[in-house]
Structure formats: C-alpha cells, structure tokens
Structure 1
Amino acid sequence: ALEVKDAGVIDEVLLIDSDSVDKTREIAHSYGIPVYKHPEVASHLGTYRGKGEAMFKSAFISDADILAWVDTDIESIRPRFFYGLLGPMLAYPQIKFSKGYFSR
C-alpha cells in the first residue's frame, strides 16, 4: 500500500487492529504506518472484535473524504486495486459506495 501512496494514488495508509495474533502490528510499525487498536478508537461506542468494527472505526481516525479498505494480507497490492474501488465514485458523484472483489 505504501507504493500506491508514494505513487500519489492514495493520501493516507493506516491500520486498525482487531487484536490480531500475527505480526500485523509489528510489520505496519516497521513501515511507519500508524496503528490503532480498535477498542481505543471511539471507545464510547463500545467494542466488538472483528473486521466490521475496524472498518467502521477507521472513519473516526481518517480525515479523508473517501475511504478505501484493503485487507493487509494481500501481498500484491497495485494501483489498479484502488482505481477499481475509487474510480466509479470519482467519475460519477452520485455513486456513494463501491465494493471490490479479489480472488485469492
């Protein structure tokens, strides 16, 4: 994702961690990516483990007008991932949501 950011396709990369047991947090920190633990974000709303909460709570941290979520375990993230997600919303303002599909 940092390559895509460096190319100017996206403005911000951050990680909302939902108590992962792998090295997700450590890897993100090693690249200078800000890491937030989901229970600490908007704690007044309560906390529920899972991807949905992590995605929801990212909106409380980011200043972006448009949010794009990509799983951290995808190893070959390229700009086209983001063009496909964001392109419809940028080209057609009436579109408010876009969801991609990725085959592993």
Structure 2
Amino acid sequence: MPTRQERVYLETARHRIAGTLTLARDGYRSRVSDVLNASERDFIPLTDVTVELVGNEGPGTHHDFLAVSRHHVVIAIPELPEDGALEPAEMAVPPAGVL
C-alpha cells in the first residue's frame, strides 16, 4: 500500500510531542483523524520524535521511535505548511437582532 509521511504535533496532559506519522497515500487511513479514531489500535506509532514536558523549560528529548497511547492524546495538529501561513477563521456571527 502506498504511504506518505506527515509531521504532527500531539499533546497529552503532561507532554508535547512532535513526530512523523505514516499514513495511507489516499482513501482509508489517509487522515490523522482516521488514526486517532481507529478503535482497533491503542497506540499511535511515530518516528523522528521530539518530546517536551508541559510546563518545563529546556530542550526536549529526541527519539527515533515512540508509540503514544491514543487514549491520552488531548490535542492533535498536523504540521503547518512550509510557509507557516494560517488561513484566518471566519466567525459564525448571526446578523444583528437574530438570536
């Protein structure tokens, strides 16, 4: 099955984790959310990983491989595009007087 690599940031209650996730090139299991919602897997395998402790100053530790319990992930974010530009979010504000 053809695969692709995607950098992701995961946060647990105690750790910030940046690593590379291997995903299917397209179709089933091609999104980060597919991996997070896979009930048959308890761990998310990552490579080229940096782990930082939340609330702790200093550099993180680097690991070639890390398996993260998907039950402990609080936030998961795919890496930003190379230019780092974010598209502004549009707020869904009802027209004045409509509630």
TM-score by length of 2: 0.24
TM-score by length of 1: 0.23
Structure with the higher helix share, 1 or 2: 1
Higher RCO structure (Cα 8 Å, ≥6 apart): 2
